[in-house]
Amino acid sequence: MIKVKALKPVSMLITEGREERWIFLKPGEELDGIGMVIGVAAEYAPHAEPTNRHGKKIVNFAIQEDAPNNYFGLFEVSKSTGQS
């Protein structure tokens, strides 16, 4: 499990359990207990190559626990503290 903290406004596709869902975080907001960050909406990472997922352009990351901690200056990832 991981925790994400937004550095800039960002819309990301995450997993919680077996479910995928889109979330939007404002700078400074955190979400703990995420299984994985699948990716971000393409408009938040304009210099990366997007793919289509469920009809929406997305920049794939597939971030889990052992990943680097900063992505395009949009958000940071750290190990889950077990709190929501």
pLDDT score recorded for residue 64: 63
pLDDT score recorded for residue 59: 92
User: Which tens digits make up the pLDDT trace of 8-55?
Assistant: 999 999 998 889 999 999 999 999 999 888 899 999 988 888 999 888
Strands (E) located in the chain: 2-6, 10-16, 19-25, 30-34, 36-41, 51-53, 56-63, 70-71, 75-79
